[in-house]
Amino acid sequence: MNPLIASPALKRETNWVTTAFMVLFHIGAVAALFLFNWQALAVTAVLYWIGLSFGIGMGYHRLLTHRSYKVPRPIEYFLAVCGTLTLEGGPISWVGTHRIHHQNSDKEGDPHSPHDGGWWAHMGWILSGQSCHNNTALMAQYAPDLARDPFHAWLNTYHYVPLTLLGLVLLAAGGWPMVLWGVFLRVTVGLHVTWLVNSASHMWGRRRFATRDDSRNNWWVALLTFGEGWHNNHHAHPTSARHGLAWYEIDCTWILIRLMQLAGLVRSVKVAKVASPAQEQEAA
């Protein structure tokens, strides 16, 4: 049995520490709206891109979880640090949870399936149960490759350090408006956008491939997440570094990977080779 979801009772038990932080960050996000300035907005936009594209899409997801490409170790560590700036936990916990999701997608044992309710898939699984606990020893079962790396093991335990340091830098540079925008509002929006991949992209959208789950391609989630919303494509070809497989499926994270490949910073890139929708329709 999946130890992260041992029983329905444990699954619904509130995680008060996580809940308290979620409430705090949501309050901070609302407060940011009353302290607007253009400099804070610009910094927030850049950090949003770094956190979600570099950190989650390129780092935690396509590199560390699925090993869709290879980079020198310093770049891997940099991307992992970018991932911690989203308040989505350390690399071992994130990767372990996502690998469990692929093993049991929309079945018993999936940490965040809409089959357990849309609210549960979006946010409930974070607030309840043990699936979001930052337990390095437990999650190492699902990410042993990362657990063997001292840097990833340290970062998983102290994943809050980079975000805390960033907050102090922003406080020194622009005061509380910069902190509220660059940390609290950015992180809160980024969390909900990432959770939409778990919820909306398993409920709404088109299914290009007949996968064994309910994954769907959702264009607006893809725009918000720099390409992660092409979720049905991803579940059909999980090791592909490119999620947007058609010309009109905008995948900004793939463009970034491709540019880094051309610069010689990325190698051994795996890309799904599939027929275009027009070719598929013609063949049918």
What pLDDT was estimated at residue 131? Answer: 54
DSSP for residue 209: S
How distant is the alpha carbon of residue 37 from its chain centre?
28
| Count of CA atoms in the C-beta half-sphere (13 A) of 129 | 23
pTM for the model stands at 0.92
Cα–Cα distance between 284 and 278 in angstroms, integer? 10
Q: Three-class SS of residue 217? A: strand
Q: Are 53 and 226 in contact (CB under 8 A)?
A: yes
What pLDDT was estimated at residue 157? Answer: 94
Domain ranges of the chain: 3-212
What pLDDT was estimated at residue 75? Answer: 98
What pLDDT was estimated at residue 277? Answer: 55
Cα–Cα distance between 236 and 233 in angstroms, integer? 5
For the chain, the maximum distance between any two Cα atoms, rounded to a whole number of angstroms, is 61
What pLDDT was estimated at residue 219? Answer: 98
Tokens of 1: 């049995």
In tens, the pLDDT along 172-196 reads 999 999 999 999 999 999 999 999 9
What pLDDT was estimated at residue 282? Answer: 38
Listed as ranges, residues in the chain with pLDDT below 70 are: 1-12, 129-134, 275-284
